[in-house]
Amino acid sequence: MDRRKFLKGSALFSGLFTLSPSDLWSSQRSTQPPHMGKAKNIIFMVSDGMSLGTLSMADLYSRNILGKGSHWMNLYHEKKVSRALMDTASASSIVTDSAAASSAFGGGIRVKNGVLNIGANGEKHLPIWQKFKKAGKKAGCVTTVTITHATPAGFCINSERRNAEPQIAEMYADLKLDVLMGGGDEFFNPENRKDKKDVYSVYRKKGYRIMKERADLKTAKNGEKTLGIFSTGALPYSIDRANLTDFKNTPTLSEMTQSAIDQMKNHPDGFVLQVEGGKVDWAAHANDIAALIHDQLAFDEAVKTAVDFAEKDGNTLVIITTDHGNANPGTIYGTDATQQFNSISEYKYANEYILNTIHKNYSVKQVKDWIYESNKLILNDDEARHLLSFYNGLEKEEGLYNYKKLPFKLYSDMQKSRNSVGWISMDHSGDYVEVAAYGPGSELLQPFIKNTDLHDVMLKAAQI
């Protein structure tokens, strides 16, 4: 080998890594292909907190148990989409929260964790759904968590605090968004708001139809403004909705997505719609594999709903992604890994429901019987006693969305030894994530992007 050529090449190669990621991305943007079509409609889909392992395991479960590949992965197999990896960092950290992540999409800028479309010096960046409303399009959001939560809010409003959900509920009404569906009754209902304000009446006066149950989706009329609030707090996990009669009147994400499309699709200037599988993130925070897979598959059904419409319509850009990873779950090598992973199909409920059912007066036998009934797992006496110690106040577990301090991690560790699924944490991660785009404007998607680039992609695709 010519040593001088090698050293020259090595210097050039090493010099590449002295560039910042932004330098690399900016060079990519300069070589974007020409715009091949205008998107009249845009559907932006976010599986909140979806690590690559979540996407992989949902597809594996679908193939092994349901006998078919997931719709998202089928789009890759069929080469129907443009595909990219995305850096999800915020202005304050390589690991973002959902507010900063959604602000990157919605405001086109990176902000600090915890705020919505507010810059470092207090400047307000106009959220993208407001831009599209000003351009004459209808705009909506549907989610499986509270409709006022960070991800939908980041496309719509400016706020110093992502947790200002009572105020965000009122901001939406002022913006006259066309379709809002999710949970969060406590932010609209005067009986549950601290200020006792009837926010539902505010929406009614502005001409909104208020929907509270799944059956109400059938009464929604084309072109009508709708507010669908289907639960206090977030909607139930999909696995619980399927197996508990109390939740049969709760719509699926796919059903809400279809209803939102139907309400806005005939508008002459088009529509924009955000669709969020918010409970994927919550399941990851709880290290709950059954809840995670079933909510990811529920999101996957919504992907099919959106892409089916886009294929027939021909004028709709569908962007499918996540805002950040969470807990990085994955399958673990072992002789019985396949069989153990497939045993998740015997899980009947989310871990939150399972652990909420246990009380401190349960006996060791009652705990073991309940765990077997709900997960077909056989615990030994020591494991059952360890679970009970949390209910007797001997141990406590913190964690986001763990208000009752349930032993999520302890129980997921017990499941891990039997289902071959492990987790690196109970919180967000800064790994690069998947992006797929279908329809006019999808050619704008570069192979490696920042989260803020998707804001520009939407505007350029719609030629706004």
Residue 294 annotated as binding? no
Distance CA 268, CA 62 (A): 38
Residue 195 annotated as binding? no
Pairing of strands 448-450, 271-276: unpaired
Instruction: Single out the catalytic residue among 98, 103, 238, 420.
Output: 98
Tokens of 119: 């810059």
Q: Which residue stretches of 95-226 are H helix?
A: 98-107, 128-134, 150-154, 165-175, 199-205
SS (H, E, C) 239-286: HHHHHCHHHCCCCCHHHHHHHHHHHHCCCCCCEEEEEECCHHHHHHHC
Does residue 422 sit in helix, strand or coil? strand
Q: Which residues contact 7 (CB under 8 A, 6 or more apart)?
A: none
Whether the Cβ atoms of residue 348 and residue 243 lie closer than 8 Å to each other: yes
Handedness of CA 250, 251, 256, 262 (dihedral sign): negative
Whether the Cβ atoms of residue 61 and residue 291 lie closer than 8 Å to each other: no
**To the nearest 10°, the Cα dihedral for 53, 56, 58, 61?**
-120
Residue 324 annotated as binding? yes
Does residue 343 have an active-site annotation? no
Residue 276 annotated as binding? yes
Residue 359 annotated as binding? no
Residue 125 annotated as binding? no
Residue 338 annotated as binding? no
Residue 428 annotated as binding? yes
| Binding site, annotated residues for Zn(2+) | 48, 281, 285, 323-324, 428
**Residues carrying an active site annotation:** 98
